[in-house]
């Protein structure tokens, strides 16, 4: 810190003045280039020959207002599904990642099962998993079959659990072997080492990619509508079919973005904090 009573040399004053001029200059340049690009975009889009038609069929305020309640009802389903599936997928991912770290011959079947699971569900397209769960499984006509919604959520949990398992595993493997050596040398068992030394560091490190998967999940939970339940996108589709106007899709899109903003902001903040911590070392 420079103390305020310290008299600055002429060179330092000159440098400060130069920096200030440069800052003003950069702000002006940024404003000008943004203005030019914005104007260009607006002129191109609104000047296009088909603009009037597009505006009528995608940006009709009256239709937007009419479709909003149904879409919001659908979005409420998305939100509930997201919370349930995110918690479920994180739990499945963590357990599977831990199973893959187990050593010893007793755990061979569990290890193999866990590896097979991540291979299968990361490879399978989500839509196929959804169809199998929501259409195939009820076909078994078992007693106490849960609703289509629960089955669809299970499909989402299994698919995203596969991705998250690999994220967690990457985190676990990123913890340096010297940390394990230190923990084991203190007499901690494998399980205690995982619980108190490896996992806390691993989870902290993979929080950004983990939240990224949750943001992706947020968009994919709506796919349960393939099996019947009406989510926001499906509600928009119904409204579109009634009016032959695509505005409801735009409404749903805007709502999705608004829903994602807080989550993405948290992801950015966590990433930034992790980067700062790294830099502080």
Report the residue number, 6 or 281, with the smaller CB distance to other proteins.
Answer: 281
Are residues 227 and 152 in contact, defined by beta-carbon separation less than 8 angstroms? yes
User: What is the DSSP annotation of 41-93?
Assistant: HHHHHHTSTTHHHHHHHH--HHHHHHHHHHHHHHHHHHHHHHHHHHHHHHHHH
Per-residue contact flags (x/-) with other proteins for residues 262 to 281, judged by CB under 8 A: ------------------xx
Report the residue number, 29 or 181, with the smaller CB distance to other proteins.
Answer: 181
Per-residue contact flags (x/-) with other proteins for residues 203 to 232, judged by CB under 8 A: -x----------------------------
- Binding piece for other proteins, criterion CB under 8 A, among 16-24, 159-167, 194-202, 240-248: 194-202
Rounded CA-CA distance 37/257 in Å is 23
Report the residue number, 2 or 276, with the smaller CB distance to other proteins.
Answer: 276
Are residues 129 and 121 in contact, defined by beta-carbon separation less than 8 angstroms? yes
Report the residue number, 57 or 101, with the smaller CB distance to other proteins.
Answer: 101
How many alpha carbons lie under 13 Å from residue 124 in its C-beta half-sphere?
21
Report the residue number, 181 or 272, with the smaller CB distance to other proteins.
Answer: 181
- Contact residue for other proteins among 38, 69, 116, 200 (CB under 8 A): 200
What burial class does residue 20 get, using C-beta atoms within 10 Å of its C-beta: 0-12 exposed, 13-18 middle, 19+ buried? exposed
| Residue 8 phi, psi (nearest 5) | -85, 145
Q: In the window 173-192, what residues touch other proteins (CB under 8 A)?
A: 178-179, 181-189, 192
Tokens standing for 89? Answer: 């997928």
CB 190, min distance to other proteins, A: 9
First to last CA, the chain: 21
Q: In the window 141-180, what residues touch other proteins (CB under 8 A)?
A: 178-179
Q: Give the dihedral sign, CA 91/92/93/98.
A: positive
- Contact residue for other proteins among 51, 108, 196, 269 (CB under 8 A): 196
Question: Considering CB under 8 A, how many residues would be counted as binding other proteins?
Answer: 19
Q: Which residues of this protein are in contact with other proteins, per CB under 8 A? A: 178-179, 181-189, 192, 196-197, 200-201, 204, 280-281
């Amino acid at each position: 810190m420079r103390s305020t009573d310290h008299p600055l040399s002429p060179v330092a004053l000159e440098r400060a003045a130069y920096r200030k001029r440069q800052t003003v200059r950069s702000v002006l340049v940024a404003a000008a280039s943004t203005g030019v690009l914005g104007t260009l975009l607006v002129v191109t889009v609104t000047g296009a020959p088909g603009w009037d038609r597009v505006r009528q069929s995608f940006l009709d305020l009256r239709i937007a207002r009419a479709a909003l309640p149904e879409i919001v009802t659908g979005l409420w389903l998305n939100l509930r599904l997201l919370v349930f599936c995110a918690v479920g997928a994180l739990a499945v991912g963590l357990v599977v990642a831990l199973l893959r770290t187990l050593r010893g011959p007793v755990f061979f079947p569990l290890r193999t099962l866990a590896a097979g699971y991540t291979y299968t569900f990361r490879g399978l397209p989500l839509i196929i998993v959804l169809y199998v769960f929501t259409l195939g499984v009820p076909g078994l006509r078992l007693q106490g079959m849960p609703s289509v919604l629960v089955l669809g959520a299970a499909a989402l949990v299994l698919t995203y659990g596969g991705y998250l398992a690999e994220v967690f595993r990457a985190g676990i493997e990123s913890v340096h072997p010297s940390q394990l050596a230190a923990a084991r040398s203190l007499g901690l068992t494998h399980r205690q080492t995982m619980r108190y030394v490896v996992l806390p560091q691993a989870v902290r490190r993979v929080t950004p990619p983990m939240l990224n998967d949750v943001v992706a999940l947020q968009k994919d939970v709506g796919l349960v509508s393939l099996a019947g339940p009406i989510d926001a996108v499906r509600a928009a589709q119904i409204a579109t079919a009634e009016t032959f106007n695509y505005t409801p899709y735009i409404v749903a899109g805007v709502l999705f973005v608004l829903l994602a903003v807080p989550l993405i902001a948290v992801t950015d903040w966590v990433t930034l904090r992790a980067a700062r911590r790294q830099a502080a070392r």
